[in-house]
Amino acid sequence: MSSANHVYPVIWQSESPDEALNGRVLLIDQTRLPKEYAMVDIHRYEDMAWAIETMIVRGAPAIGVAAAYGMYLGAREIKTRDRTEFLTQLEQVAQRLRATRPTAVNLFWAIDRMLKTAHQTLGPVDYLKQILLETAQNINAEDLKTCRQIGNHGLQVLPSSPQKLRILTHCNAGALATAGYGTALGVVRSAWLGDRLERVYADETRPRLQGAKLTAWECVQEGIPVTVITDNMAAHCMQRGMIDVVVVGADRIAANGDTANKIGTYSVALIARAHNIPFFVAAPLSTIDFAIADGSQIPIEERHSSEIYQVGETMLCPSGVEFYNPAFDVTPANLITAIITEYGAVAPADLKAKLASRQMV
């Protein structure tokens, strides 16, 4: 793969041009990277739910795209031609997909958009299924366009400097976490293409190592200079003047700008504030949940303790200890310089005034 710009983690593939509805979803199996690049075929909505739960596909925007296709796959499996019964069964598909990952709001946004489309579309059930596939494809295409816009807006607000920038990022908010190009890594890509980037510093991001495995892999594909550091090295690197700016993604943003992202992001924000380093969040409008006032209302997913106590088959901890494994933490809005969306960079305090009217399901 010559360029990470060409990494698309969720792909709809028709069996034939004449039978567009009889297709499948191809997912990059992100649990195998960087050791192996492999694709997973998804034909049923239950398989899509499993892929989301097991993080074969991950990253809030990519989860949203995958869930949209999951809704279509579920619709395709419904046999009734009665519209009312079809919509009832489609709601059951939605409930299953909603239960996969509680924090990433793009999941719920995409499911709600698919349901709204189904309820508002007139015509026979077969026609509803066709429209649902088209809607999922539109969500996919829109996210790719959105990521490129985020990258371009991010480039405009990065610190001005005669020297090229050293950017720290946490977890993976790149092409693999979106429909392509990325949010935080989209800003990085735009900086690289604009000849303003010296190097990316990627936190390894314990416990699943998305920074070390995925962000680093994407950068290598595109020839972007990247240095992987352990999570507890960020303060040291900032203290030594090695970092100019931090850019991270988001899984859910509250109306006041409080932001849930991969566990450890809050620590990075605190360290950045202590060293007067700008801290940006890059995310599409669909990640902002205007229905919740602040970060205390964001549900935090807890994952299995095995992510902590073993790597592969290697046990890291003695038997008898207990574990706590939240997948996300919440960074308070007052630590965030700006939130970069497809509509530009917005101060957290201005989110509702400037963007709430644009959000549509």
Q: In total, how many domains does the chain have? A: 2
Strand blocks (E) in the chain: 10-13, 24-28, 39-42, 165-169, 197-203, 226-229, 245-248, 252-254, 259-262, 279-282, 288-289, 310-311, 314-315, 328-331, 338-341, 344-346
Q: How far apart are CA 158 and CA 188, in angstroms?
A: 10
Compute the average pLDDT of residues 346-352: 95
Query: Domain check: are 104 and 169 in the same one?
Result: no
Query: Domain check: are 136 and 13 in the same one?
Result: yes
Query: Domain check: are 194 and 274 in the same one?
Result: yes
- Determine if the pTM surpasses 0.85: yes
Query: Domain check: are 54 and 195 in the same one?
Result: no
Compute the average pLDDT of residues 100-106: 92
- Flag whether pLDDT at 347 surpasses 70: yes
Q: Which of 197, 198, 173 is nearest to 185 (CA)?
A: 173
When pLDDT is cut at 50, 70 and 90, the band that residue 184 belongs to is: very high
- Flag whether pLDDT at 261 surpasses 50: yes
Opening angle at CA 48, ends 22 and 12, nearest 5:
40
The active-site residue out of 251, 258, 289, 329 is: 251
Query: Domain check: are 161 and 306 in the same one?
Result: yes
Query: Domain check: are 118 and 198 in the same one?
Result: no
Compute the average pLDDT of residues 310-322: 90
- Kind of pairing, strands 279-282 and 245-248? parallel
- Flag whether pLDDT at 289 surpasses 60: yes
The reported pLDDT for the residue numbered 161 is: 85
Query: Domain check: are 20 and 86 in the same one?
Result: yes
Query: Domain check: are 317 and 203 in the same one?
Result: yes
Q: Which residues, including other chains, have CB under 8 Å from residue 35's CB and lie 6 or more apart?
A: none
Residue 122 buriedness (CB in 10 A; 0-12 / 13-18 / 19+): exposed
Q: Which of 22, 5, 76 is nearest to 45 (CA)?
A: 76
CATH number, domain of 339, equals 3.40.50.10470
Query: Domain check: are 177 and 127 in the same one?
Result: no
In a domain, 152, yes or no: no
When pLDDT is cut at 50, 70 and 90, the band that residue 263 belongs to is: very high
- Flag whether pLDDT at 4 surpasses 70: no
Structure confidence by residue, pLDDT tens digits, 195-246: 999 999 999 999 999 999 999 999 999 999 999 999 999 999 999 999 999 9
In a domain, 216, yes or no: yes
The reported pLDDT for the residue numbered 2 is: 37
H/E run at residue 263 = none
Query: Domain check: are 230 and 354 in the same one?
Result: yes
- Flag whether pLDDT at 6 surpasses 90: no
Structure confidence by residue, pLDDT tens digits, 53-69: 999 999 999 999 999 99
- Flag whether pLDDT at 26 surpasses 70: yes
Query: Domain check: are 344 and 235 in the same one?
Result: yes
Compute the average pLDDT of residues 39-44: 96
Query: Domain check: are 24 and 112 in the same one?
Result: yes
CATH number, domain of 89, equals 1.20.120.420
Q: How many C-alpha atoms does 110 have within 13 Å on its Cβ side? A: 32
Structure confidence by residue, pLDDT tens digits, 124-157: 999 999 999 999 999 999 999 999 999 999 999 9
In a domain, 41, yes or no: yes
Residue at a domain's end among 115, 146, 177: 146
Compute the average pLDDT of residues 158-170: 95
In a domain, 299, yes or no: yes
Written as six digits, the tokens of 229 are 């550091």
Q: Please indicate whether residue 112 is annotated as part of the active site.
A: no
In a domain, 151, yes or no: no
Residue at a domain's end among 111, 126, 146: 146
Question: Packing angle between helix 60-77 and helix 105-120, nearest 10 degrees?
Answer: 40
H/E run at residue 38 = none
In a domain, 13, yes or no: yes
Residue at a domain's end among 116, 146, 176: 146
Strand blocks (E) in 209-337: 226-229, 245-248, 252-254, 259-262, 279-282, 288-289, 310-311, 314-315, 328-331
Domain enclosing residue 338, as ranges = 157-358
